[in-house]
Amino acid sequence: MNFLLTILSQTGRNLLQTWGSQLLNLITISLSVLIFSFFLLTYTNMIQAGKQLGDDLRLIAYLDEEPSPALQKEYKRKILKFDAVKKIAFVSRKEAFERFKQELGTDRDVLADMPEDFLPPSIEVYPRRSLHSLTRIKAFSDYLLTMPGVLKVQYGRQWIERFYSFVRLMRIVVILSGSLLILTSTFMIARTIRLTLLSRQRELELLRLCGASSAYIRAPYFLEGALQGLLGAALGLAALYVLYTWITLQFSGSALFSFFPFTFFPLPVIAIIVALSTLFCAGGSFSSTRKILQV
Amino acid sequence: MQKNSNEVMVELIKVRKFYPPDVKALKDVSLSVAKGELLFLTGLSGAGKTTLLRLLYRVERPDRGLVEIDGMDVTRLSGKKLQILRRRIGIVYQDFKLLPKQSVARNIALPMEITGRKKSFIRKRTRDLLERLGLKDKINAKAGDLSRGEQQRVAVARSLCNNPDLILADEPTGNLDAENSDRVMELFNEHRDQGATILIATHDSRIYGLGRHRVVVLANGHIIGAGIKRNPAPDNGDCHQ
């Protein structure tokens, strides 16, 4: 208990004595956490949106003529031969026309003079989650095109390609900003603590001569690093939350947000970010004290 | 009175310590100090007094010979064992080794915090020692703001705060007037009476001239004389070898 109290009071003294550099460290760590968690939040929301898009994803194979029930069975068999799918639906010319009419809503009058069979019949294939990667979808599309009677296959290819490219880019940005967080927290803390230790050689020597244990000497610096990581992450995430609230307020009611709900991190993710930041900062401090203090 | 006089606290056997290029600080020095004994190391500057003390608190290792404290070979001690031994030793350094930006109280509290003393004990012990050394009003002053004499007394207080088994004092009265020297010696004697072993390296004949104790004279790294000081007083106090 006394040991703990002494360590805590020593940590407090250290923080007070070097408050200037501590503040700078705190700001840097907070900014790093903010940048990293901002990209991570965007990335996770995009992944979520991607999943939602995936749920609605379907491949439409347009046919040259209405398939008979026997042919429908044959198509189903061929499709399932490629891979198991969630659902296969056949859309007749008439059904396609009805859908189109409904989609036009109040403008449906434009179809008044059109024949009800002007739209081609189609097969709608809803792939399973395992098929949702871009290459699999492409392969599936190519496979459907090889089936007899299929004129064209549509799945919003360009849009999906762009979306996946953006997700890939975001992944790289998240990795880079995560690395930035690790570098700043670990090396900056290590550097600051090293400088502090060098400026306190006299005190450290005295502690050693008085019989202080290695843990006694190192613990306040370790705690100092951990505290900076903890506070820096907490501040960074708090700033992100403010930013998130502002964004959701600014864009509330917009078409984009009604389609893709933009959500904040769940508690476990927040806890992991804080824990990692604390760990890296404590690690930086630990490596620094280990190098300098040859107790 | 010496206590446990048959038990040895400090033992040096044929200890040699040379510094490059050709400084021969200690040449085959042998010395035995009993538990509860007060021993003075005297001699001219450069005689090897400080080196001998530095070997005892293990900031230096001898080139040759044995250095033992309470039966432990200090040259072989490291890690936890060395830390525990150092907690049993109170040291007054020649350069005081105070933390100038820290308060007097904090400087004195340091060894007590290391040994896990309670806050209440630390406060009381610090106040008591400062009162005994005439520094009661300096408790919150920064050590760096004190005079040399005051700093020296703070260093003495820090060495005694944990009631150490062994006290090593390097010129503990070098900057003190007679009154403060007496205060310091009174405290040392009290600790000796409680069983502490004390080695004082000094030029100050005023302090080793009083009381009954051994005086060891070093010159050029050799012990050239040792004897018991018996009579209370003269300034040039001679030794019976």
Q: What is the CATH number of domain A58-154?
A: 3.30.70.3040
Decide if B71 is inside a domain. Answer: yes
Q: Do B114 and A5 touch (CB under 8 A)?
A: no
Decide if B187 is inside a domain. Answer: no
Q: In this predicted model, what pLDDT tens digit does every residue of B34-76 receive, in sequence order?
A: 999 999 999 988 889 999 999 999 999 999 999 999 999 999 8
Decide if B40 is inside a domain. Answer: yes
Decide if B108 is inside a domain. Answer: no
Decide if B160 is inside a domain. Answer: no
Mean pLDDT of B132-140: 93
Q: Answer whether residue B233 shows pLDDT above 50.
A: no
Q: Do A207 and B83 touch (CB under 8 A)?
A: no
CB pairs under 8 A between A and B: 46
What's the pLDDT band for B146 if we cut at 50, 70, 90? very high
Q: Do B116 and A3 touch (CB under 8 A)?
A: yes
Chain A nearest CA to B129, separation (Å) = 18
* Number of domain units in chain B: 1
What the block records as the tokens of A46 is 């995009």
Q: Answer whether residue B2 shows pLDDT above 50.
A: no
Domain that holds residue B60: 1-88+165-173+196-241
Write down the domain spans for chain A: 2-53+165-292, 58-154
Q: What is the CATH number of the domain that holds B210?
A: 3.40.50.300
Q: Tell me the chain A residues in contact with residue B83 when contact means C-beta distances shorter than 8 Å.
A: 211-213
What's the pLDDT band for B238 if we cut at 50, 70, 90? very low
Contact indicator for B82, B58 with CB cutoff of 8 Å: yes
Decide if B139 is inside a domain. Answer: no
Decide if B93 is inside a domain. Answer: no
Q: Tell me the chain B residues in contact with residue A2 when contact means C-beta distances shorter than 8 Å.
A: 113, 116-119
Q: What is the ipTM of this complex?
A: 0.85
Q: In this predicted model, what pLDDT tens digit does every residue of A203-261 receive, in sequence order?
A: 888 999 999 988 888 888 889 889 999 999 999 999 999 999 998 888 877 766 666 77
